């Protein structure tokens, strides 16, 4: 059973929370100043900021983050939803979603992860979001439910994003995907002040997911004002090492002879997911990606499979 942490007194937590909220609000103001076009409503701006921090390790572009925003009427308690195959975002036009997709191009036991984000500007964590989410999960995780049946309950924006996960799950069934569902609850509250009832609701969500999808992993993450500020200040290091056999240099141009295994380990992390930041960092491979550029997870999967077989 969850117990409230006793490392800080209530007045101390309140002061620290207040400070974190002030810093968070300042970050949100700066983001709005940097944004092109008309300012966003406060709740929408907070949602996008929360999505960005919740997905920090996935290295998504602003457009990719915005594409997953589904909050509004009939959202089922979900503000943002994203599906990843082997660490790479599945977009609505990805090859893996096509009817005649060849699942054999994806390695056996691929990682299929659904990330669901609930973002509220309130200065606390409540039970209600989890109550709504459990009801929603009971519908969207039932594969027998048709898209039309889901549209009778939820918005078209939500159903469109849900179908990405459900379709990938179905298409990859012969590859026995390792499914994980990550629920992120972001607010301006203090995670240490979330009460026992809130944590009980979170535990029930995890139990429901693992019961509904055998062998699936489920996780619930709380992001308060302090965590959001900390994540916003975290930057990724671009320092990586690539072993090579021979090199040739001509002014600012460099060519290296590299073993395929070494190259694959350079462009992918320990889970086999592509290090997307390599392809989008100025001065690194390829520089900034062109506008509208997308990493197609099916193509990446085929490349990875070919490199492994080489």
DSSP designation for 214:
T
Give the residue, 47 or 269, on which the prediction is more confident.
47
- Same domain, residue pair 168 and 287: no
- Same domain, residue pair 168 and 220: yes
- Same domain, residue pair 150 and 222: yes
Distance CA 130, CA 207 (A): 12
3: in domain: no
Q: What is the pLDDT of residue 258?
A: 79
5: in domain: no
241: in domain: no
- Same domain, residue pair 23 and 139: yes
Q: What is the pLDDT of residue 287?
A: 44
- Same domain, residue pair 53 and 97: yes
- State the total domains in the chain: 2
Q: Kindly report, residue by residue over 155-201, the tens digit of the pLDDT.
A: 999 999 999 999 999 999 999 999 999 999 999 999 999 999 999 99
- Same domain, residue pair 220 and 280: no
Task: Among 232, 256, 282, identify where a domain stops.
Answer: 232
Q: Kindly report, residue by residue over 103-156, the tens digit of the pLDDT.
A: 999 999 999 999 999 999 999 999 999 999 999 999 999 999 999 999 999 999
**In the predicted model, is pLDDT for residue 95 greater than 50?**
yes
Q: What is the pLDDT of residue 275?
A: 64
239: in domain: no
Q: Taking the CB of residue 28, how many other CB atoms lie within 10 A of it? A: 19
Average pLDDT, the chain: 84
- Same domain, residue pair 227 and 271: no
171: in domain: yes
H or E element, residue 142: none
Range of the domain at 122: 10-232
48: in domain: yes
Q: If DSSP states are collapsed to H, E and C, what string results for 49-113?
A: HHHHHHCHHHCCCHHHHHHCECCCCCCCCCCEEEEEECCEECCCCCHHHCCCCCHHHCCCCCEEE
Q: Which residues of 49-78 are buried (b: 16+ CB within 10 A; e: fewer)?
A: bbbbbbbeebbbbeebbebbbbbeeebbbb
Taking residues 275-296, report their average pLDDT.
49
Q: What is the pLDDT of residue 292?
A: 47
- Same domain, residue pair 120 and 23: yes
Q: Chain-centre distance of CA 167, in angstroms?
A: 18
pTM equals 0.77
Task: Among 175, 203, 232, identify where a domain stops.
Answer: 232
Distant-in-sequence, close-in-space partners of 130: CB < 8 Å, separation ≥ 6: 185, 198, 201, 202, 204, 205
- Same domain, residue pair 65 and 133: yes
- Same domain, residue pair 77 and 50: yes
Classified as helix, coil or strand, 254 is strand
- Same domain, residue pair 163 and 109: yes
Task: Among 210, 232, 254, identify where a domain stops.
Answer: 232
238: in domain: no
Q: Kindly report, residue by residue over 203-230, the tens digit of the pLDDT.
A: 999 999 999 999 999 999 999 999 999 9
DSSP designation for 268:
B
- Same domain, residue pair 152 and 275: no
Q: 84: closest CA among 172, 212, 149?
A: 172
212: in domain: yes
């Amino acid at each position: 059973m969850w117990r409230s942490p006793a490392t800080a007194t209530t007045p101390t937590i309140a002061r620290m929370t207040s400070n974190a909220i002030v810093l968070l609000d300042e970050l949100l103001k700066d983001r709005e100043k940097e944004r092109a076009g008309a300012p966003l409503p406060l709740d929408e701006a907070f949602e996008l900021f929360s999505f960005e921090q919740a997905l920090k390790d996935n290295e998504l572009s602003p457009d990719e983050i915005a594409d997953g925003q589904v909050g509004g009427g009939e959202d089922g308690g979900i503000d943002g939803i994203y599906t990843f195959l082997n660490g790479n975002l599945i977009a609505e036009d990805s090859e893996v979603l096509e009817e005649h997709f060849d699942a054999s191009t994806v390695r056996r036991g691929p990682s299929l992860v659904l990330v669901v984000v609930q973002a509220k500007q309130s200065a606390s964590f409540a039970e209600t979001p989890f109550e709504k989410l459990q009801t929603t999960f009971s519908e969207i995780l039932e594969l027998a439910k048709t898209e039309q049946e889901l549209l009778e309950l939820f918005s078209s924006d939500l159903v469109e994003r849900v179908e990405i996960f459900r379709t990938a799950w179905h298409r990859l069934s012969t590859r026995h995907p390792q499914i994980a569902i990550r629920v992120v609850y972001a607010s301006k509250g203090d995670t240490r002040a979330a009460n026992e009832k809130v944590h009980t609701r979170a535990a029930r969500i995890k139990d429901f997911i693992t019961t509904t999808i055998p062998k699936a992993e489920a996780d619930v993450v709380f992001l308060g004002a302090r965590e959001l500020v900390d994540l916003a200040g975290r930057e990724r290091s671009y320092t990586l090492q690539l072993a090579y056999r021979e090199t040739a240099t001509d002014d600012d141009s460099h060519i290296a002879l590299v073993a395929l295994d070494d190259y694959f380990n350079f462009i992918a992390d320990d889970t086999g997911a592509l290090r997307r930041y390599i392809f989008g960092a100025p001065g690194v491979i390829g520089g900034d990606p062109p506008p509208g550029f997308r990493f197609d997870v099916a193509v990446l999967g085929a490349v990875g499979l070919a490199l492994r077989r080489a």
